[in-house]
Amino acid sequence: MAWQRKIPFGYSIQNGEIIRQTEEEKAVQDIFSRYLLGASYSQIAAEMERQGIRYHQHTPRWNKHMVKRILENPKYLGGDVCPRLISDADFLAVQLRRGDQTTYAPCPKQLAPVRGRAVCAICGSPMTRDTRRQGRPRWHCQNPECGHSLYIADEELLARVRKKLRLLALAVEEIRETAPPTPSLDSIRIQNELNLCFNRADANHEYVKALILGAATERYNEMPDPGPCQRLRDLVRQVRENPEDEETLWAFCEAAASHIRMGQGGIELAPMPVLKIQHREELAV
């Protein structure tokens, strides 16, 4: 739709940069204040119309969805692209009030594969989910210096990840055989110890035998297991053949996605290094 806003309400674009739009900035702050004073979405929408503020240029009309979208938009906290319009305290207070109106959402079991893989798109640290503060799922970067957070409903998050998984299955061009392993630290230590013994005239034979056995065991443990490769191949085929099968999809997630990067720009799957991927860019956003 040509009249859809391309940048969030409250901002305009100047020389390719997003800047505050004075009138809309005031309106955003007014909307947050009114909501915190107890107004409903619809009451605020009516007030915006009364003040003659326009959300869309082609119409003076407002509706509650516009108000809701404004109240939940974390872009107003400022960031790389958009300047800050709302203080952390006010934004949080609004989310708390919104949370009162939605039911507490415990972490659904289906989210487990996402939780184990969620990392911050900005700094790469793990993201954790909580709903304590406003009953609304928030994913929060564990790195205190980053503090990136993202509000996303569980269902929407799952839907997006499912979509990405299907795209990933289609994009797999090749599954590389597991690369030759690098020796473990233990293996290196045992080998060093053995070398020392071989250079020693009085080495204890029993000890040397134990070391040789230990070294052999380590080597054996390091041998690549051909199983996962075949399993991954099967899963890719199954997802392609039956993309709606939830169970297969999440098994594929376990096997094929090393990380799920979460950012304001979207959700991105990072494929396991053994996967050779075509059209990588489709996996972003």
Interface contacts to Zn ion, rule CB under 5 A: 120, 122-123, 125, 141, 143, 146, 148
- Let me know: does 103 contact 38? Beta carbons within 8 Å: no
Nearer to Zn ion by Cβ, of 16 and 144: the residue is 144
- Residue 264 CB, nearest approach to Zn ion (Å): 12
Which run of H or of E encompasses 134? none
Kind and range of the H or E element at 14? strand 11-14
Residues 55-58: contacts with CB within 8 Å, 24+ apart? 55/5, 55/9, 56/3, 56/4, 56/5, 57/3, 58/3
Rank residues 38 and 144 by Cβ distance to Zn ion and give the closer one. 144
Q: For the CB of residue 143, give the shortest distance to Zn ion in the complex, in Å.
A: 5
Spatial CA neighbour of 70 closest among 51, 89, 50, 98: 98
Smaller CB distance to Zn ion: residue 146 or 194?
A: 146
Residue 147 CB, nearest distance to Zn ion (Å)? 7
User: Can you spell out the DSSP letters for 148-180?
Assistant: -EEE--HHHHHHHHHHHHHHHHHHEEEEPPPPP
**DSSP H or E run through 16:** none
Residue 75 or 98 with smaller CB distance to Zn ion: 75
DSSP, collapsed to helix, strand or coil, labels residue 219 as helix
Question: Which residues are CB-neighbours of 220 under 8 A, at least 6 positions away?
Answer: none
Residue 164 Cβ, how far from Zn ion at the closest point, in Å?
20
Q: At closest approach, how far in Å is the CB of 148 from Zn ion?
A: 4
Q: Which is nearer to Zn ion, 110 or 264 (CB)?
A: 264
Return the number of the residue (28 or 119) whose C-beta is nearest Zn ion.
Answer: 119
CB of 246 to Zn ion, least distance (A): 30
CA 159 to each of CA 114, 168, 246, 252, 268: distance values in angstroms, whole numbers, following the listed order = 11, 14, 11, 15, 13
Residue 106's closest CA among 140, 136, 150? 136
Alpha helices in the chain (DSSP H): 22-36, 41-50, 64-71, 88-101, 112-115, 154-171, 185-198, 205-222, 227-241, 246-256
Residue 128 C-beta: closest distance to Zn ion, Å: 11
Give whichever of 203 and 270 is closer to Zn ion, judged by the CB atom: 270
